[in-house]
Structure 1
Amino acid sequence: MIGLLLAAGSSSRLGEPKALLTLGQKTLVERSLQVLQASSLEVVLVLGAEINSIKAIIPSDSVEIFESEDWQMGQGSTLSECLRFLAPRKQDILVMLVDTPFVQNKHILAILQAHHDSPNQVIISSFHGQSSPPVLIPYQHQEKLYDWKGDKGFGPFWKSHPSICQWISFEDEYRDLDTPEDKIYWQEKCAT
């Protein structure tokens, strides 16, 4: 199975590259990679903005790096580009976003268990009722996202295909890292 970490965006709302933001002792990209690698997934790191700066802190032999050509068009375009690139491998893919510092190894393991129990279902995380990646997409459903465009997230996908989706609920708070206020929140939380 592939763990696909989307870290290609320019972070325009935050005003600085999210992937390079330090929380505690690690950058967001290092924290996210650590979570995926702890689950023994074959990790593909998707980069766009700040490619060279991110590559400089990631050991080249630790992950496969995919350089998106469509990253400026938004998350949906980047996701569809990656899924088409990975299609010949015919593997299930767990998609994680770099700006979700609340995601831990326990969440990935629960998602993998849910996939084991329901291998044909798209497994969607729900944090206090907020649906969000990580999302596990079995190979047979990935083509439904091949034409995803723009800055489209997963919401329209699961609303359009509820019969193939299964939600897994977590009690952890959902709060991504998009704004300067989010940055302050997470820096304070990770300092304790």
Structure 2
Amino acid sequence: MIGVLLAAGSSSRIGEPKALIQLGHKTLVERSLQVLQAPFIDTIVVVLGAEKDSIRSIISQESVEIQESQEWALGQGNTLSECMRALAPRKEPVLVMLVDTPFVQEKHLQALVEAHESNPSHVMISSFQGQSSPPVLIPFEHQQKLYDWKGDKGFGPFWKSHPDICQWISFQEEYRDLDTVEDKKYWQEHWNK
């Protein structure tokens, strides 16, 4: 199984690269990679775009593959489709995580993988108190549906247009990503407690 971390955006709403924001003693990219280093993930791929050199410089794990997005400025949809096409020859399930979701833990990934093992032909989608969000586990047979993904859209339109192949895994944790200055303050206070 391939674990993909999308960390290519420019973070225009927050005014600084999200991947480099410190929470406690680690940056968001370091925290996300720590979660992806689960025993059921065989390969970790980080997709970079904006601030790629700065982010690359703090990725210490030699085992992490770095993929540079050529289309990151066009939005997450382009970055995602570019990544899916690049990974297609491997024909493996892909578990996609976003760098700005500090509430995601290994247990969430584990639940998606266990659900995938029981139902390998379905896309597994996380639901945090009813909010659908990555991490998302995509079997190889459905990855081509994302090859032409475009613009600044995430996964929402995907599961709305393909509900028959999707399965939602519910979690009790609240969904709160890191998109704004207020979110940054909230998470920094959370980690400093």
TM over 0.5: yes
When the two structures are superposed, what TM-score results if normalisation uses the length of structure 2? 0.98
Q: Distance in 1 between matches of 2:170 and 2:110?
A: 13
Could you say what secondary structure the match of 2:187 adopts? helix
Write the distance in 2 (CA, Å) between the matches of 1:190 and 1:60.
23
Q: Which residue of 2 aligns with 1:76?
A: 77
**Secondary structure of 2:176's aligned partner:** coil
Q: 1:120 matched to which residue of 2?
A: 121
Deviation readout 1:72-99 (Å, 9 max, x if unpaired):
0000000000000000000100000000
The total of aligned residue pairs comes to: 192
Task: Tell me what 2:172 maps to.
Answer: 171
What is the CA distance between 1:47 and its match in structure 2? 0.2
Shift of 1:60: 5.5
Q: Give the partner amino acid of 2:26.
A: K
Residues 120-176 of structure 1: per-residue CA shift (max 9 Å, x gap) = 000000000000000000000000010000001111100100000000000001000
Kept in 2, the 8 Å contact 1:3–1:36? The answer is yes
Give the Cα separation in 1 of the matches to 2:61 and 2:164: 40
Q: Which amino acid aligns with 1:105?
A: E
In 2: Cα distance, 1:73 partner to 1:122 partner: 25
Residue 156 of structure 2 corresponds to which residue in structure 1? 155
Q: Does 1:25 align with 2:43?
A: no
SS of residue in 1 equivalent to 2:175: coil
Distance in 2 separating the partners of 1:19 and 1:135: 19
Following the alignment from structure 2 to structure 1, what is the Cα–Cα distance between the partners of residues 51 and 18?
10
Structure 2 partner of 1:50: 51
Secondary structure of 1:57's match? coil
Instruction: Tell me the amino acid that sits aligned with residue 96 of structure 2.
Output: V
Deviation of 1:59 (Å): 1.9
4+ runs deviating over 4 angstroms: none
SS at the partner of 2:95?
strand
Return the offset for 1:3.
0.3
Which consecutive unaligned segments of at least 5 residues does structure 2 have?
Answer: none
| Contact 1:39/1:109, CA 8 A, preserved across alignment | no
Identity of aligned residues (%): 72
What is the CA distance between 1:177 and its match in structure 2?
Answer: 0.2
Question: Which residue in 1 is equivalent to 2:190?
Answer: 189
User: Residue 182 of structure 1: CA displacement?
Assistant: 0.2
> Letter of the aligned partner of 2:118 in structure 1?
D
Looking at structure 2, the residues matched to 110 and 25 of structure 1 have their Cα atoms a distance apart, in angstroms, of 27
The offset of 1:55, in angstroms, is 1.0
SS at 1:172 equivalent: coil
Normalised TM-score (structure 1)? 0.98
After TM superposition, give the deviation of residue 40 of structure 1 in Å: 3.9
